[in-house]
Amino acid sequence: STSVLSVASQFAEVNTLSIGFEEKKWDESHISKNISKYYKSNHHELIVRENDVMECLDDFISTIDQPTVDGINTYFISRFSNQLGFKVVLSGLGGDELFGGYPSFSRMKIINHYLNIKNNILSDKIIKSITPYQLLEKKQSRLTDLVQSNNLFDSYIALRGIFSKSEVLNITKKMAGTEINHFLHSSQNINHLNKINSKTRMFELNNYLKNQLLRDSDIFAMKWSTEIRTP
């Protein structure tokens, strides 16, 4: 967002919008204020509280129309934009994917190092001895996937996903079975890439950005008659 603002402010007077939270742990409004002050933008801030979320939850779910773990921020910022009378908004979406802003970039480096050790030293027999049944907490079944993964993409899915590989195949077996797993692997297009950061960037662009963030942004922008453009 800062990169977009730095360019846009060279050509026109810019209005900036951001949301903040009462919980300091999650609030970044002070950063937005400092950036807007530096670039001399007309800054508009919305503080989102717990009651605000609860009041709009039914409308949020009705609008999203499919399961998602994201988008509530875009719901509020699009509504805020509509209330202020703005119809076109520039978004910094994609910045974390391009510039390595997610924790997954550093984590995938560690995982890649582990995969090299595993493939050279640890036997599959030892790795496969760790099963989901030994990891009692449900979400730790993804940890099993991570330990048992033989390639970088499976490790990425175990790191970023909600369900384990076995859960996904069980849910989708009546529709496509293992074909879904094959499709996911074949669509990543990383064979020409050598650096781990480049591969992680492609994973984020192909999966999180394309399949979730862009879709969520589009659906909420349409909800509030706003056009979100992502340079």
Whether the Cβ atoms of residue 19 and residue 46 lie closer than 8 Å to each other = yes
User: What residue segments make up the domains of the chain, in order of their start?
Assistant: 2-94+214-229, 99-209
- Which pTM does this prediction carry? 0.78
Tokens of 75: 């719901």
Place of tokens 């650096």: 195
168 Cβ contact partners less than 8 Å away, ≥ 6 residues apart: 161, 180, 181
Supply 123's token pair: 């036997």
- At 113 the pLDDT is 80
- Assess whether pLDDT exceeds 70 at residue 216: yes
pLDDT band at 179 (very low <50, low <70, confident <90, very high): low
Average pLDDT over residues 11-32: 93
Which phi and psi (to 5°) does residue 10 adopt? -75, -20
* pLDDT tens figures, 100-133: 999 989 888 888 887 776 655 554 554 454 444 4
Q: Which two tokens stand for residue 13?
A: 């007077």
Q: Stretch 12-40: mean pLDDT, rounded?
A: 94
Question: If you average pLDDT over residues 45-73, what whole number do you get?
Answer: 91
Mean pLDDT of 185-192: 70
Secondary structure (DSSP) of 4-65 = HHHHHTTTS--EEEEEEESSTTT--HHHHHHHHHHTT-EEEEEEE-HHHHHHHHHHHHHHH-
> Between residues 164 and 177, which one has the greater pLDDT?
164
**What CATH fold (topology level) applies to the domain 2-94+214-229?**
Rossmann fold (3.40.50)
